[in-house]
Structure 1
Amino acid sequence: MSQTSATLHRALHAPAGLKRTGKWLFLFILIGVIAGGGSILFHTLCDYGMRYFMDGMAGYRPVGPAGEHALLAPSNTPFNRWVLLILPALGGIVSGWLVYTFAPEAEGHGTDGAIDAYHNKGGIIRGRVPFIKTIASTITLTTGGSGGREGPIAQIGAGFGSFLATRLKLSAHERRIMLAAGVGAGVGSIFRAPLAGALFAAEVLYSDADFESDVLIPAGISSVVAYCLFCLVFGWGALFKAPDFQFTNPLELGPYALLALVLVAGGYVYTKVFYSVHGTFKKFKAVPNHIKPAIGGLLTGMIGFYLPETLAFGYGIVQKGILEQAPLTLLLGVALGKIFTTAFTIGSGGSGGVFGPSIVIGGALGGAVGKIFQMFAPDLIPHTGPFVIVGMAGFFTSVSSTPVSTIIFVSEMTNSYHLLLPSLLVCFLCHQLSTRFSIYSEQVPNKFASPAHAGEVHVDILQAYRVKDLDNRIRWVATVPEDMDFGSFKELYSKTNQHYFPVVNDEGKLTGIFSINDFRSILFESAIVHLILLKDIAMTDIITVRPSEDLNSVMNKFTQRNIDSLPVVREDDPSVLMGMLGRREVIDFYNTRLKEVRPELARSLGTTTSQYVNPVKAPEGVKGDSEPLGE
């Protein structure tokens, strides 16, 4: 371990209190610095790539958002549609070779990779993935591929958070938090939306309206640091320039509600086209994987030949729409064309994010709907720019199930907070109407359905109930005297169906217990059966449970000796037996409660408590314990 890593390791494992808080703060700031630096690097590479590929080779100079300024002066290259046709294919060849040679998991949109690592891989991301993702995405996007910047930058931040946690030998839970903090920092900085970045990192993990609360504060700290670092280099301010739109007429909510329906329909088409293209390319087994992005790039270029605005980032169209400078036909063309260019670019294995294209598609659809309403009701809809802003939020909500963070995202990106009311209406309508599809295939419904929280599901429910809540499941069993010889017991055993036999003294007090496994070795030793007393084979170190104990504690006791049933004793006197409680009865009670509280979770988890089940098998012909107590 290097000197720096050793220092961080000692810092992290310092005694609890102010010191520990400060050291965690240091780690989250460090993640923010690295993510902010990654955002600066990626943004710079994209700017240079656009200048030398799209501008220098094809003569295409797309308009960008008002909050971004080119680092290099434009070239004098004349516009050439034929170069624009083949340029995305050339970028696809190079990026495909990079990805499938060095890091196949970097293909597609990177946010899904981070989500998958969080839920299923203990927060582990290979160290090379962020670097390959950065280079491959730069090539893909700056040669005309349709995609966004959030996927690559999310993996840069997530990859460093995962790497740092691994070097410090942190737990899987801590590594997942640091991964998510990196996601929030990267996304929040490159889109100049630090609060939204933190919320996005906590919300995008789940398809239901759920948040990963442990992530919010770490991601918030890292996001603020990364955002400040990014803006120190590229300037402060929002990504888009928007007039001071005001919401003053409640009647506008009618058109906004209809806009939500259009956005949900568009989101459905977007996800279906995206995953249909993705599935089709996966089926092409005869075509090498690294060639597929080139094919997708060629299909993208064919659309871009006629509609160049659908290539690369496309944020300029959103800016024009906000300022009401884009015609209706262009908005509709970009909305439809961007769906297909994004599907061809990323669905074929190209590298890029899906947030950026979603913003463009949603803004174009919103602007188009606004213009249509303005034609028929100009007094009600005096401006169409607000429909562009609300459309961005609603469309991404419909395809990502992130209503809260998306509302804040769009507000921060446009510096427009006066449209929160229509945004709330549209986003929550879109979320409710789009629960059956998502662009993020690795999302899980909620925390309870995440493998990262699997153990917490048992504990939360089992700790809420006590042994006394299972009174009708506690079974009475016959006790045996400790001075009974084994020969007499054999005759009793042949007439009972018990598995466990509590042993009592002359006063009826519990002194031991044994199971059928404890006497199996002497069952057929007829010569000594009358010499062996039951107290000789009984275990006196008895594991018992009391009526006030929670069921999680009971399940832990079952696993101590891999036993299937425990004696329930009186609260004030552990020598008084009340009955036996079986492991299966506890599991059955748990499953019943689970179906009542979370029916969809019970279906998804199935045998959730199977980790506890390792039953003792009875001899052939021996049935279960006797009837429940009191019946």
Structure 2
Amino acid sequence: MQTLARLCSSWRRSKFRLLALSMLVGLLGGLTAVAFYYMLHLFSAFFLGYLACFHPPTPGGEDPLFHFGGAGECRRGLLLALPALGGLASGILVYRFAPEAEGHGTDAAIEAFHKLSGLIRTRVPVVKAIASAFTIGTGGSAGREGPVAQMSAGLGSIIARALGLSTRERETLVISGISAGIGSIFKAPFGAALFAVEVLYKRDYEAGAFIHAVVSSFTAYSIFGLVTGWQPIFTIPAYTFTPSELPVFAALGLVCGVLSVIYVVVFYGMRDKLFKVLKTPNFLKPTIGGLMLGTLGLVFPYAMGTGYGWIQQVLTESLELEVIVPLIFLKMLATSFTISSGGSGGVFAPSLVIGAMAGAAMSSLGADMLTQPKILPLVGMASFFSGAAKCPLSSIVMVAEMTGDYNILVPAILASTLSYMVSGEWSIYEKQLPTKVRSPAHFNEILSELSRLSSELPKRATKVLMALKAREVMSRDLVTVDKDAPLESVYLLMLKTGHHGFPVVDEGKLVGFISIHELGRVSRDLWKKTKVGKVMVKHVKTVPEDEPVYNIALEMEKLGVGKLVVVDRNDPQKPVGILSKSDVLKAYNTALILSI
């Protein structure tokens, strides 16, 4: 027994433990990707192929897995109705069981890392898989990377919670899950590992999790390849790099940068200006978006589905310019109808289609300027996603892996860099943060550094932090919960506000604090019956409203907390605001700037 205890203790302290768990996440993520892949093919074959007799082309590396017949002319009435029915099924599933599973799942995984300490509910992977299968399988203009990223990230979170891992370890396994899902479903293991650490920020990387992401991604890729085969998704002719053609690739990068901004503006404009203001229940909005997509599909069916087959067409065959140019912009609309309405699916596949069509349009217009014009769609895929997602490195590597041709690296690097620069701060992933300094996930590290350097800070910076009082930087938009409220209502409040902790009150008096950590200790099935007062932290550390921010920062680092309740100076039980990690970080950055 003592030997077993020593082994367990040694395992907990081992630096290889998290690598082994990353491999486990990769194993489960690969199996999940296989199941999701087959589910997508099944739904598409039945709904689009059998019912609607709609058979879009497939990429060269993927053959249809199911055949139900469906020969004859396309049934246009069903092609109109199917996206709406898929949106209805998806909306009911998501908004009834897991509202955080709506939209493109990569953003939800990013938010879980930054703001939710890596906590993802157990039911999310299942709900996301089924909802996305309905959305994509009925013709929705969406990709499979977002859903599988959120599903696998959820598996990482579940494993971490089950083993009682620390917050930092849980966040690392969430990154490993993102890498596993994308590396397997796209057969791009190294690019996916880069993507997982790059997509969290616009101008930074989560370098500390890179090795874990690599281990997880290659494990998942191995599982997926054993079942589905090792061939790349797209087949392309051989390409030889010619330096004299670089100006053409530079021009493509500039064009893709501009197009990526248009894509982001249309995508979120559709959400904020149309679907958010609709006076209809949220679960019905994907139905409306699906009906809009179906209407578009009657006129221009090329915009429906993932669009991978049309990419293959411009890579190895031919597609008329009269189709290519409209597809660039109508794919943006189709994707916005599908996902901005609350439908479940990814934005990576539509981005590849738009980028490929931009490259194909340039190759059609300037074919005489290139020895191999078919390479432009490939470079367009990488450069467009680089601008839209703020992921230049992973975009380049993933496209190379998805096609099996690394000769595109030099032109892709040039075009992707220019696209990234031209697109500025615009990103299709709105939960991305600029750098680690803005991420609550790294707050304790930054506070530790502040504590270590406190004696070295410029005197003026210290004076600024001492002069700033809690009431000047705290959030006055105080949201509290009653001690008799059920945990379910607290979780819904977290989803609505984006906060992951609230003061608990009883008749207006502060009696405790409830955070996502306390929710995570209670089984999801008991949330409706369990009262906040049963699990809340009762001994709450508070700060008076006139306390200097400098002292508060050091106190947060000492206690290892991310929020402190600010109370009235004359009534310690009367909360007047909340001071979060981000509030202190902003004050810290201000102090450093003013000290220069």
Structure-1-length-normalised TM-score: 0.72
Partner SS for 1:606: helix
CA distance in 1, matches of 2:374, 2:420: 22
Deviation at 1:244, TM superposition (A): 1.1
Asked whether the equivalents of residues 324 and 384 of structure 1 are also in contact (C-alpha less than 8 Å), the reply is no
Matched, 1:403 2:392: yes
CA distance in 1, matches of 2:76, 2:462: 77
CA deviation map 1:402-461 (0-9, x unaligned): 000110000000111111111111111111111221000000001111111122223335
Deviation at 1:83, TM superposition (A): 1.5
Asked whether the equivalents of residues 52 and 70 of structure 2 are also in contact (C-alpha less than 8 Å), the reply is no
CA deviation map 1:296-342 (0-9, x unaligned): 00111111112212111110111111114222222112211111000
CA distance in 2, matches of 1:156, 1:204: 16
In structure 2, the CA distance between the partners of 1:557 and 1:245, relative to structure 1 (3 Å rule), is closer
Asked whether the equivalents of residues 207 and 435 of structure 1 are also in contact (C-alpha less than 8 Å), the reply is no
Partner SS for 1:436: coil
CA deviation map 1:271-307 (0-9, x unaligned): 1111011113443352111111010001111111122
Partner SS for 1:29: helix
In structure 2, the CA distance between the partners of 1:466 and 1:96, relative to structure 1 (3 Å rule), is same
Pick from 359, 374, 398 the counterpart of residue 366 of structure 1.
Answer: 359
In structure 2, the CA distance between the partners of 1:558 and 1:422, relative to structure 1 (3 Å rule), is closer
**1:341 maps to which residue?**
334
Deviation at 1:46, TM superposition (A): 0.5
Deviation at 1:11, TM superposition (A): 7.2
Matched, 1:414 2:403: yes
Q: Which runs of 5+ in 1 are unaligned?
A: 1-7, 475-550, 561-600, 611-631
Report the AA paired with residue 441 of structure 1: E
Partner SS for 2:366: helix
Asked whether the equivalents of residues 58 and 77 of structure 1 are also in contact (C-alpha less than 8 Å), the reply is no
Partner SS for 2:359: helix
Deviation at 1:77, TM superposition (A): 3.1
Q: Which runs of 5+ in 2 are unaligned?
A: 464-549, 560-580, 591-596
Partner SS for 1:56: helix
Which is helix-richer, 1 or 2?
2
Deviation at 1:23, TM superposition (A): 3.2
**2:212 maps to which residue?**
218
In structure 2, the CA distance between the partners of 1:604 and 1:88, relative to structure 1 (3 Å rule), is farther
In structure 2, the CA distance between the partners of 1:358 and 1:177, relative to structure 1 (3 Å rule), is same
Matched, 1:240 2:234: yes
Pick from 13, 24, 27 the counterpart of residue 18 of structure 2.
Answer: 24
In structure 2, the CA distance between the partners of 1:605 and 1:558, relative to structure 1 (3 Å rule), is closer
CA deviation map 1:249-283 (0-9, x unaligned): x2311111111121112111111111011113443
In structure 2, the CA distance between the partners of 1:557 and 1:452, relative to structure 1 (3 Å rule), is closer
Q: Structure 1 vs Structure 2: percent identity of aligned residues?
A: 40
In structure 2, the CA distance between the partners of 1:60 and 1:12, relative to structure 1 (3 Å rule), is farther
**Bigger radius of gyration among the two:** 1
Report the AA paired with residue 288 of structure 1: P
Greater mean deviation of Cα atoms: 421-430 or 284-293: 284-293
CA distance in 1, matches of 2:195, 2:557: 41
Give the superposed CA RMSD.
2.8
CA distance in 1, matches of 2:196, 2:56: 30
Asked whether the equivalents of residues 256 and 387 of structure 2 are also in contact (C-alpha less than 8 Å), the reply is yes
Deviation at 1:473, TM superposition (A): 8.7
Asked whether the equivalents of residues 281 and 347 of structure 1 are also in contact (C-alpha less than 8 Å), the reply is no
Deviation at 1:371, TM superposition (A): 1.3
Pick from 366, 369, 375 the counterpart of residue 386 of structure 1.
Answer: 375
CA distance in 2, matches of 1:276, 1:471: 43
Deviation at 1:472, TM superposition (A): 12
Asked whether the equivalents of residues 139 and 304 of structure 2 are also in contact (C-alpha less than 8 Å), the reply is yes
Partner SS for 1:353: coil
Pick from 309, 312, 316 the counterpart of residue 305 of structure 2.
Answer: 312
Partner SS for 1:261: helix
In structure 2, the CA distance between the partners of 1:10 and 1:316, relative to structure 1 (3 Å rule), is farther
Pick from 582, 588, 593 the counterpart of residue 608 of structure 1.
Answer: 588
Asked whether the equivalents of residues 11 and 23 of structure 1 are also in contact (C-alpha less than 8 Å), the reply is no
Report the AA paired with residue 435 of structure 2: N
Pick from 196, 202, 208 the counterpart of residue 207 of structure 1.
Answer: 202
**1:123 maps to which residue?**
118
Report the AA paired with residue 58 of structure 2: G
Asked whether the equivalents of residues 158 and 178 of structure 1 are also in contact (C-alpha less than 8 Å), the reply is yes
CA distance in 1, matches of 2:172, 2:557: 32
Alignment of 1:472-483 (within 5 A): none
Asked whether the equivalents of residues 117 and 170 of structure 2 are also in contact (C-alpha less than 8 Å), the reply is yes
CA distance in 2, matches of 1:357, 1:257: 22
